[in-house]
Structures are given as C-alpha cells and as structure tokens.
Amino acid sequence: MKFKKIISSEKQLREFYGAPNERSLLKQKDALDLPSKEFIQQSPFLCLATTNPNGSTDCSPKGDQPGFVKIVDDKTIVIPDRKGNNRLDSLVNIIHNPKIGLLFFIPGRNETLRVNGRAKICHDPEVLSEMSFKSKTPTVVVVVEIDEVYLHCPKALIRSDLWKRGVDIKDLKTYIKASRQQLGIELSEDEIAEKAKQYEESLKDTLY
C-alpha cells in the first residue's frame, strides 16, 4: 500500500469536508451541564489521553463502578487511580504536560462524552478517603479542570455495532499467551492455562 496524496494543511482538509454545521459547534461548552453530569455519573468506563514532553501520545483505559468519577463542581472532576502495573504512563505525562482528553462510555448507549482540560495529581488524605472503594484507597487521584465538554454523535458506535456485535474470539490469543509471546517467553498450553488461572486468582486481591 502506497501513500502519495497526503493532506498537509487545514485549508486543504476543508476542501474535502467543508465547514462544520452550527449545531456541532454550539454543543461545545466550557463547563458541565446537567446532561453531561448525568452521563459521567452513569459511566463505568473512559479512555484517558495524555501527551509527554516529546509530543508522543498515550491513551489509557480507566474503569470502575458507575459514578467512580466524582463531580466536584461544573468545572472539576476527579478520577481515582486504581492499582495497575506501575508503568504510570498517564501520571508521568500529566506531570510534564497537564493537557488531557477524556472519552466517557456507557454500555448500551451509542453517544459518548468528550471532556478536554488540564489535569493535576493529588494525594490529599481527605480526598483519597472520599474516593475509596471496598475499603481500598487509591494512591493518588487525577483532578481535571474542564476546558471543553460535549456529547459526541453516535455514528461511530452505530457503525461498529459495538454493543450488539457477536465477535468470535476463539482464535484471539488470551492476555497471558499474548503477553508472554511479546516477552519472548515460550510456554506450553498447560503452562499457559496454569498462568491464566493464577492471574484470575490474583485479580481478586489486586483489583483495588
């Protein structure tokens, strides 16, 4: 596949797409309104995008029970950082570049909610206590000061049929098998099954 005709300016891009319709511009707000608050309160999952000082981007999934993202006021939300693998890609990026982008999902809903703003990392004990779940307190929370918020149209999720599509994943490698292959570790099928069982058991104690 060869790529010859590359678009290199916004003016050139607009020749293909034209101007956005007025409604798509008017729906963008600089603070949370009631519909966006309700969406965040019902969302169990979001994608969090950050950028490091060199301009490289990262997008990380964040999920928990609906309402895990707390609304402080119309301009501020708080995201708990639950246990992970300690790579801390998003958190390190935030330290160097506070610009952040969020995309909220609700299972069964084809709309998504986009939030852009500036983030900072907080470890105030009182705040962490308020964000605890199942008696587990997050190490830190991400505080997002909102610059832009708007509901995104449902076309992408409708086209993908995300919530209804029955995908045959029998040929898709399991997390354990794929991750070991990436590390160059060869395991027998029995060893993979045992590792997968151990991993499932460990999640019970390390999820929070």
What residue ranges define each of the domains in the chain, with the CATH number in brackets? 27-160 (2.30.110.10), 175-206 (no CATH)
Q: What local confidence, expressed as pLDDT, does residue 116 receive?
A: 98
Range list of H helices, 135-188: 155-160, 175-182
Mean pLDDT of the chain: 90
Provide the whole-model pTM.
Answer: 0.86
% of the chain beyond a pLDDT of 70: 96
Q: What local confidence, expressed as pLDDT, does residue 155 receive?
A: 93
- Could you tell me which of 207, 98, 205, 80 has the C-alpha nearest to residue 147? 98
pLDDT band, residue 192 (cuts 50/70/90): confident
DSSP string, 78-130: EEE-----S--HHHHHHHH--EEEEEEE-TT---EEEEEEEEEEE--HHHHHH
The whole-number average pLDDT for the span 144-148 is: 98
For residue 65, which phi and psi values (nearest 5 degrees)?
-70, 150
More confident residue, 187 or 15: 15
Residue 79 has pLDDT above 80, yes or no: yes
Element (H, E) at 48: strand 45-51
pLDDT band, residue 110 (cuts 50/70/90): very high
